[in-house]
Structure 1
């Protein structure tokens, strides 16, 4: 994208229409009506923390020429001319005795003069109908207590933050807010959830920060490293970090290199290398990878006392009692697992991983060894518990997370009381969670990782399972042979075909548990709705809400999670007079809606990825209840941002889960996400039925793109180093 000019320009007008807005990062495209009548509408693009109505706005930025869309105004700073809004909202949120109706009455009566009236002539409030002596005293007592907060919120909203952001900042920093922000506004994106770097940077520009201010450079580098963790990296190559910084800030290379060096000296960042290539890391992740490597070496340094004959005797007794004829491959894997302090068992669907876990559990039980079975998510823990008959917990519950201290109860100084810990679905393990497990184990413990390295990597930073295997320092076994029973399932056979880079096959004469539905983009949405609401229900008797899960590679777009949820909600749970609704992210949530938790909530014991149904909504008390696996959880309205509709979810969110039926959406419009491991992961979520809906070229594209982005991390290297 070429920049026509870098000279700052001011542009004022009224917002005519918002063309596009990304709720996650604030990127917005809108049309502006200039104040000078007769001028054409102007396309404005930028990252904004606020929403827009038709009020007057002023943008500061520059013109640019987009290769496809032509001339645009790139807004770096936005000022909305709406002086009443923060005051009115402040009254409702902070002042006792003032609800929405009284706030409106006060604003209509006094307008912009209301703040002065409250401070200098408060008796005039009684001129508003309904404000008697009791309400007056209530308002004034509250105003005196909250006056400082009002000044802070006015300061923040006048510098580009919206009201809710300003309220969060004021609550976090208290009376020192203005002082702290003027000293370094870039603390906002690190400290305050919902405020990104662009918002902090816009505020800094308004405060007069120069483009090469060290605080700006440092903030940008931290932001870029944080963004890298969202892509699964523990750090970034130095050259890539510098390049991204130059692009983000429009500054030269040398100031950024200096900023990296200064931050490294202060240990705010770690300059290191990965197999010889200079890289930069966030300190905590760098330390956590060390914790994993050192912890695993610590466990393996304590030898096992193994009596081969006794071991084989007990194993044979278990196998005979359970009538489980094992292949030579499985027997080899079992013996390897039982002779290692740390072990990795990997393999695809239908190769017998769960069978081996059951036998291992029985072996350790016969040996009177205490053991724990865990998984990264609640659904994964429930699934392995049902499969093995042994109780399983999420890793967070195993380590006993304490929401008061924001830490785990079990750690190096208070280790877990188990001789053996088995972690299923280990491909989902990120670096922080794995570090927490490893350091909570005493030297005498055994640790067994079980997972499928061909699935999608963890959503969080790191590539733990692959790093353990690649290091060649951790004993592991990869199961390859598909069980005879599993070989009759088209789901399993086709999952393995996809994993090998082959197109799936549909056996029309055999067991029908796998379907390929070819559909062009314009008809895909209609076909998905018909499959979920009609075909799978009529043919197999599936419950569309409880049994069927739609999976899409992306959140955005016509066939993305967000849009599919809107149309599926309308079809599967339409509005009814008896179903209470509440506004949610531009749409609604209503009773009976299927929802997914998107953040960990330790106080409620509900975790990212847990799926439930809305049981009831109380509009008067502003609270609602969601049932998760027969467990009823109360939410306040202000907590509804923790939930999203779940008729459709992303493939990444489905990791560790299994559903009776899945409908997988693939489209060339989602090309950037189409990869073999994504399709493989999606297909292996289905237990009884998998339907892939998409363009033939999209399916082919996903299968042929077998390359996996190498995540920047040091775990493999540290494990290799003696």
Structure 2
């Protein structure tokens, strides 16, 4: 593929993202009727300015030809009109056409070239103001510096979005070069530049020593992050870290040890009692210990209600719930009443229990008790996901929000509510606490440290967080905080096979159940995937025919793995093709990567986005796809009863959600769940907790399709224990 060169100007951007990658329309300088699409890291280009660009032409079956830009630079002016147009462009604020004409009249068509070579020459132009001289010389200097760096990045295949972002923050080329040459790794960590391999390439180009301590230590930090994420541990050992680093970089043991010492001195790693933590995982555990110790040591909230009886108030609340939720003869059981009383006497309380044990009704009672006794509305209900928060709101009639919204997230790990600007609330109740990672909980505590009462609610039998730590289970295991475990099942007017199966799995006794007698569970075990596919289609067809319009919680396919014949990726394609007829309307389809989107598709957003007010895991339905001249412009997607406009760039964070992972289903409940266990997939990671979490997403009917062998082997496999020091530290400090 030969490289093509063009000279012309950018007429407009069709799309541009935050990192500077964009699509634009480029007009040929000599033939204004020749317009072409260009794409690539062109975010620093300005419209209406003559550029020389080069790249490779690509053919797209739908959009036609486009140039993948590999480099661009501002072209030298060849006519007086071009020179005047350049000097009076938006690049030079306050320099109008009249001043530009003065300069070109005096210095000629190559005025910019002359100024570039000798900045003092601009002072010889008659009647030019001092401010105009300063603006022109500074802009020419800045543009030259930027252009030089852009050329370095484009010609050497370095990640231009890094540079585009940095040019927004730094004006001086020498300052940028200093960052690139000294320790671009540290800069990238602070500013969340990813992927690491691209950071490494930039650093190597600008002269970091390949086997020097700076580069090896950066790799070590990246490796420990991967280890902690993969294992869920909060620390590792020197031997594991040394072995993995040597394997990746082919360096000596002595070289790695020297880099480990450097990491210790730089405080990117923390060494304690033969354990090695990342600075983040260490500070998270320390923050958790420090803040919960502060909360527990505070004086209890002072009631505004005088001479009250706890039992009388609880009875009053029972009557209110009976009326509000139309539950005849509603009464809390002994453990629920104990939880409500412990809530009043404790600053930190943990409430755990399986499905149907009435955790939500206890949350409801706690809020009502708080309002009656303390006469205040200074409380918040929260959860790790948007769907979990919505479920609390629906089942308690009290407004709940995500932790990210509560902390006013403005980006990954960036919160407006933080240690410097904390919320001052009397009470916070967090549901689905088993999903809390150490890192999110530490950020939460930093932003809510003045809280007087904190209640954590969850099911300890469910999967722990995706990120490192085993927070909820660790807090219970430490045995230093009041903990109430609910065991009595309330959520069944008659036998509920789903709850019976969940309880048996929790107790390690599923083999004692008579599976054929379990109500509302349908076992369709088969080792042949052709039959499994047919069973899926039949089951889905029967259920979707009864699905109320717009009810996303009516039916959900859940699968533990993404790959395989019946993994999540293929399942979404199979279900979409079979059940969304709009996929046949080729002119109304938007293709993003390997995925196709059509009207009525069920989708999931994969990012916390404060601008769109969407949370990672929010589900929606595509109601409209807009096209102009057969080109996609935007989509209207209904999330949580709100119509959200999504642009092309947002679709990078969107996926089909007919089938989702067990982790993505956590925090939600569905009327009907189809659990797929693909016999062709490697089920080595299928565990008791994964199966338990999946089946407890179902409220009314559960269908298990696939491998019986995988099902039983998974139930026998206990999730490997996550190594943390939170329990040890709590027991030492309390």
* TM-score for both structures, normalised by structure 2: 0.74
Counterpart-to-counterpart distance in 2, 1:486 and 1:99: 75
Counterpart-to-counterpart distance in 1, 2:575 and 2:399: 35
Hey, what does 1:8 align to over in structure 2? none
Counterpart-to-counterpart distance in 2, 1:571 and 1:464: 42
Hey, what does 1:451 align to over in structure 2? 458
Hey, what does 2:333 align to over in structure 1? 327
Hey, what does 1:645 align to over in structure 2? 656
Q: Does 1:696 align with 2:703?
A: no
Secondary structure of the corresponding residue to residue 684 of structure 2: helix
Shift of 1:490: 1.0
Hey, what does 1:285 align to over in structure 2? 281
Shift of 1:350: 1.4
Task: Tell me if the contact between 1:596 and 1:645 (Cα under 8 Å) persists in the aligned partners.
Answer: yes
Q: Does 1:156 align with 2:156?
A: no
Q: Which moved more, 1:149-158 or 1:384-393?
A: 149-158
Taking a change above 3 Å as real, the CA distance of residues 112 and 448 of structure 1, as seen in their structure-2 partners, is: closer
Counterpart-to-counterpart distance in 1, 2:595 and 2:547: 32
Shift of 1:373: 1.9
Task: Tell me if the contact between 2:339 and 2:484 (Cα under 8 Å) persists in the aligned partners.
Answer: yes
CA shift digits 1:462-491 (9 cap, x unpaired):
222112111111111112232372771111
Taking a change above 3 Å as real, the CA distance of residues 709 and 559 of structure 1, as seen in their structure-2 partners, is: farther
Taking a change above 3 Å as real, the CA distance of residues 571 and 139 of structure 1, as seen in their structure-2 partners, is: farther
Q: Does 1:234 align with 2:234?
A: yes
Hey, what does 2:265 align to over in structure 1? 265
Task: Tell me if the contact between 2:431 and 2:457 (Cα under 8 Å) persists in the aligned partners.
Answer: yes
Q: Does 1:618 align with 2:617?
A: no
Task: Tell me if the contact between 2:438 and 2:469 (Cα under 8 Å) persists in the aligned partners.
Answer: yes
CA shift digits 1:576-616 (9 cap, x unpaired):
43863333122322333222111111122111111112233
Counterpart-to-counterpart distance in 2, 1:563 and 1:137: 55
Secondary structure of the corresponding residue to residue 600 of structure 2: coil
Secondary structure of the corresponding residue to residue 652 of structure 1: helix
| Counterpart selection for 1:662 from 647, 665, 673 | 673
Task: Tell me if the contact between 2:637 and 2:643 (Cα under 8 Å) persists in the aligned partners.
Answer: yes
Hey, what does 1:16 align to over in structure 2? none
CA shift digits 1:141-168 (9 cap, x unpaired):
9998866555434423443446667655
Q: Which moved more, 1:146-155 or 1:112-121?
A: 112-121
Consecutive unaligned residues in structure 1, runs of 5 or more? 1-49, 51-84
Taking a change above 3 Å as real, the CA distance of residues 330 and 604 of structure 1, as seen in their structure-2 partners, is: same
**Which structure has the larger Rg?**
2
Hey, what does 2:644 align to over in structure 1? 633
Task: Tell me if the contact between 2:383 and 2:389 (Cα under 8 Å) persists in the aligned partners.
Answer: yes
Q: Count residues in correspondence.
A: 626
Task: Tell me if the contact between 2:432 and 2:459 (Cα under 8 Å) persists in the aligned partners.
Answer: yes
Taking a change above 3 Å as real, the CA distance of residues 414 and 330 of structure 1, as seen in their structure-2 partners, is: closer
Shift of 1:177: 4.9
Hey, what does 1:224 align to over in structure 2? 223
Shift of 1:113: 14
Hey, what does 1:46 align to over in structure 2? none
Taking a change above 3 Å as real, the CA distance of residues 340 and 386 of structure 1, as seen in their structure-2 partners, is: same
Taking a change above 3 Å as real, the CA distance of residues 501 and 257 of structure 1, as seen in their structure-2 partners, is: same
Shift of 1:631: 1.2
Counterpart-to-counterpart distance in 2, 1:427 and 1:86: 49
CA shift digits 1:110-136 (9 cap, x unpaired):
x99998996457569x9xxxx999899
Shift of 1:501: 3.3
Secondary structure of the corresponding residue to residue 678 of structure 1: helix
Taking a change above 3 Å as real, the CA distance of residues 587 and 204 of structure 1, as seen in their structure-2 partners, is: same
Counterpart-to-counterpart distance in 2, 1:662 and 1:395: 27
Q: Does 1:603 align with 2:611?
A: yes
Counterpart-to-counterpart distance in 2, 1:227 and 1:181: 24
Q: Does 1:96 align with 2:47?
A: yes
Counterpart-to-counterpart distance in 2, 1:90 and 1:612: 31
Counterpart-to-counterpart distance in 2, 1:284 and 1:113: 39
Q: Which moved more, 1:132-141 or 1:358-367?
A: 132-141
Secondary structure of the corresponding residue to residue 623 of structure 2: strand
Taking a change above 3 Å as real, the CA distance of residues 479 and 720 of structure 1, as seen in their structure-2 partners, is: farther
Taking a change above 3 Å as real, the CA distance of residues 525 and 170 of structure 1, as seen in their structure-2 partners, is: farther
Task: Tell me if the contact between 1:555 and 1:650 (Cα under 8 Å) persists in the aligned partners.
Answer: yes
Taking a change above 3 Å as real, the CA distance of residues 404 and 509 of structure 1, as seen in their structure-2 partners, is: closer
Hey, what does 1:557 align to over in structure 2? 564
| Counterpart selection for 1:355 from 351, 361, 368 | 361
Shift of 1:252: 2.0
Consecutive unaligned residues in structure 2, runs of 5 or more? 1-20, 22-35, 60-66, 94-111, 113-139, 323-328
Taking a change above 3 Å as real, the CA distance of residues 434 and 542 of structure 1, as seen in their structure-2 partners, is: same
Structure 1 segment 93-132 matched on structure 2, within 5 A = 94-96=45-47, 119=75, 122=78
CA shift digits 1:302-352 (9 cap, x unpaired):
343799982223223333553323333333333333321110010111122
Hey, what does 1:72 align to over in structure 2? none
* TM-score for both structures, normalised by structure 1: 0.75
Counterpart-to-counterpart distance in 2, 1:116 and 1:211: 30
Counterpart-to-counterpart distance in 2, 1:366 and 1:688: 35
| Counterpart selection for 1:390 from 394, 398, 401 | 398
Taking a change above 3 Å as real, the CA distance of residues 521 and 217 of structure 1, as seen in their structure-2 partners, is: farther
Hey, what does 1:45 align to over in structure 2? none
Taking a change above 3 Å as real, the CA distance of residues 99 and 572 of structure 1, as seen in their structure-2 partners, is: farther
Task: Tell me if the contact between 1:168 and 1:192 (Cα under 8 Å) persists in the aligned partners.
Answer: no
| Counterpart selection for 1:380 from 375, 379, 388 | 388
Taking a change above 3 Å as real, the CA distance of residues 265 and 106 of structure 1, as seen in their structure-2 partners, is: closer
CA shift digits 1:191-222 (9 cap, x unpaired):
67673233344555566655421121111111
Counterpart-to-counterpart distance in 1, 2:364 and 2:396: 5
Hey, what does 1:570 align to over in structure 2? 577
CA shift digits 1:374-424 (9 cap, x unpaired):
21211111111211222222223333445699423365654333x322111
Shift of 1:683: 0.8
Task: Tell me if the contact between 1:533 and 1:544 (Cα under 8 Å) persists in the aligned partners.
Answer: no
Counterpart-to-counterpart distance in 2, 1:187 and 1:581: 43
Shift of 1:288: 2.9
Counterpart-to-counterpart distance in 2, 1:636 and 1:150: 30
Q: Which moved more, 1:665-674 or 1:497-506?
A: 497-506
Counterpart-to-counterpart distance in 1, 2:241 and 2:534: 44
Q: Does 1:346 align with 2:359?
A: no
Counterpart-to-counterpart distance in 1, 2:724 and 2:415: 26
